[in-house]
Chain A
Amino acid sequence: MILRVENLHAKIGDNEILRGVNLEVSPGEVHAVMGPNGSGKSTLAQVLAGREDYDVTGRVLYEGQDLLAMSPEDRAVAGVFLAFQYPVEIPGVGNLYFLRTALNSVRRLRGLDELDAIDFLSLAKERMSLVEMDESIMSRSVNEGFSGGEKKRNEILQMAVLEPKLAILDETDSGLDIDALRVVARGVNALRSEGRAMLVITHYQRLLDYIVPDVVHVFADGRIVRSGDKDLALELEQRGYAGLAQRPALETSTPVGATP
């Protein structure tokens, strides 16, 4: 088990956004989390990555460690990666420099040697080809003036360089046209491996045509209300979230989502 989420609650002030999330993910699995806007999917992603704006209760074990006790940077070093729904623009910091700083920081804290400029550049170029990233974009400031597609590809590039064990992709399909979606999905699929789990958060079933999940969870009202295999996504596409929401929520006393 790489990730075990038990009765996770998160709120900002009096506004409770996560209301008892239970989830288990094994290495190599791709889990999709689908749900309507405002259901709390992105909050789940942010809380797992270590965003400090929330009051969080419950338990999250990542490779047996207490994830909630770790700083965001420690989570990254341990192998957790969040591809942001809205990647942040950082004027004045070059994209390539940012990527190298991140990789070397992670390597240093993992007890590995830092990569020098030349070794890093060859690694970066190789990974850039995964997401068909143009080299010219690397000398620009991080995400500044990037198109929606460039921002999302930049997220996947960072994932390819940092090589996480648990990648959380938050609405990676939003704002992408079909061509950009194919490129991003191809990059993600290339990064699927036995040692790497993924949590793919999406509003639309469309992305799951390209990134085929092992498990699909339906998220509503701050928790997972149904789990199933990839066909659940198709059912959702036909019936809509409203149709599913009318069903009683699953018992959540036992964690759902684990593959047998």
Chain B
Amino acid sequence: MSATATTLPGGLERLEPAADGHHPAWVGRARHDAREWVAEHGFPTLKDEDWRYTRVASILEIPFEPALPPTSPLPSKSAVDQVAGDLGGTRLVFFNGHLARQLSSFADLPPGVRVTSFASALVDDAPLLEPVLAGRSREHRHAFTELNLALAEDGAIIHIPAGTTIAAPIHLVFVSAAVSPLVSSPRSVVLAGARSRATIVETHVGSAGVYLTNAVTEVVLDEGARVEHYKVQDEADSAFHLAALHVRPGRDSSFSTHSLALGGAIARHEVRVRLESEGAEVTLNGLYLPEGEQHHDNPTLIEHVAPRCTSRQLYKGVLDGHGRGVFNGRIVVHPGALGTDASQINKNLLLSDDAEVDTRPRLEILTDDVRCTHGAAVGQLDEDAVFYLRSRGVPHQEARALLTHAFVRELLELIGVGALRSHVENQVAARLRAARVGVGR
């Protein structure tokens, strides 16, 4: 990484956490180390393989300030329901990165389950967090994950004891609105005990303003745990969203994540999974729908270290207007990862001549006895199908929306939470209806 041209006066690296109060000493040290790391390595540039399609220079020029705990009126509960969906169960709502208790609801949870905020956990449950934050994997660092650690004040902490099943999804809603440029740095941690089961939904929504959500979510699964994770990114069009999801699956555990990228000016959702325990299964699905001038980047890294692990990836993009999408999917099969079974599929639909997509599978296979498949495709709507529908009386715009919807349906049907699926289907349908989808070219 290069520090040149990115360490600007007024840049992000000068920021300090607004409240650095009652934390244990190791938190202060971890934050200090993180800041040092950023000062030393600087922010990524297009020369970094993982960032070669996403230019962050424009973000670094903005004089962001850390978001403070809200003093102004919060959105109403029904407004949150409307933008994020009401999934029932436990819901933590954060406003500009800080927990808004009055908007949150804590449903009955099985004994021993802890759902709390990062801010309180730092005070009450610091020993639980220390191994995760202080012992985080070194090779997955970049300036934004380090900046998150340096600035993180809140987020969700979910701890599920061994053998416990949480039936209803736990919904984490991050609502943002900024008058002047703000950065929020939510840090969330999910610790799933052995053979536990849980569903976690992260929704990021924004109404207005220039802000940066720089989020990190870590999921650690013990032996045999099963976690379903969903992420809906519907930030304001003027906002930036840089997120990392880091997953450490235990032996014979199962983790799946489904991401939907709708909003943001520049949005990057990175997923990194390190398969260090035998027999784990991970599924990474993603759908990105950039339009206008939006930029959606989806880097994934799956490292097969232990034998007999399975990874599945299905990412689809629909690109309209001047929208730009990136799928940068890397799979590394380390020596000794015998019996690895990995597949990766990326399909893209270009709805406009000005839209652009970069799809880049990177497979590094350093052992024999693996099954590794990948496929990438970029195409346009089938004009024969458009004509067929029009000849049956379906107006041009509707015909294109119908075919586009058929393209994305496969991913929507994989959403296992009914209330979330219908909410997301409505969002996607509204997007496809509103899109000009190239009619009249």
Q: A: which residues have CB within 8 A of B?
A: 49-52, 71-73, 75-77, 81-82, 84, 87-93, 98, 101-103, 105-106, 109, 158, 162
Contact = CB atoms under 8 A, between A and B. Distances in A.
A76 B392 contact: yes
Nearest to B413: A92
B409 A50 contact: no
Interface in B331-358: none
A184 to B, nearest CB: 18
Interface string B389-401: 1111111101100
Contacts of A90: 382, 385, 388-389, 403, 406
A77 to B, nearest CB: 5
Contacts of B382: 88, 90
**Most chain B CB neighbours (cut-off 10 Å) among A49, A82, A103, A105:** A105
B406 A105 contact: no
A106 B388 CA distance: 14
Given A52-B387, A102-B389, 18 more contacts: A50-B391, A73-B395, A73-B396, A76-B391, A76-B392, A84-B388, A88-B388, A89-B385, A90-B403, A90-B406, A93-B403, A98-B389, A101-B398, A105-B393, A105-B394, A106-B392, A109-B393, A109-B395
17 contacts: A49-B391, A50-B391, A71-B396, A72-B390, A73-B399, A75-B391, A76-B392, A76-B393, A90-B385, A90-B389, A91-B406, A98-B392, A101-B398, A102-B393, A105-B393, A105-B394, A162-B392
Nearest to B407: A92
Contact of A73 (B390, B405, B409, B410): B390
Contacts of B399: 73
Contacts of B407: 92
Interface string B376-388: 0000001011011
B407 to A, nearest CB: 7
B398 to A, nearest CB: 7
A19 B366 CA distance: 64
Contacts, number: 72
Interface residues of B, number: 22
Nearest to B388: A88
Given A71-B396, A73-B395, A105-B398, A88 B390 contact: no
B132 interface: no
Given A93-B403, A93-B406, A105-B398, A162 B387 contact: no
B396 A101 contact: no
B402 interface: yes
Contacts of A88: 382, 384-385, 387-388
A91 to B, nearest CB: 7
Contacts of B410: 92
Contact of A50 (B389, B390, B394): B390
A76 B392 CA distance: 6
B396 A102 contact: no
Contacts of A106: 392-393
A98 B410 CA distance: 17
A91 B396 CA distance: 18
Contacts of A89: 385
B189 to A, nearest CB: 38
Contacts of B406: 90-93
Given A102-B394, A105-B395, A92 B409 contact: yes
A88 to B, nearest CB: 4
A81 B409 CA distance: 29
A93 B385 CA distance: 11
Closest 9 CB pairs of A and B: A92-B406, A76-B393, A106-B393, A102-B392, A72-B390, A88-B388, A105-B393, A73-B390, A93-B406
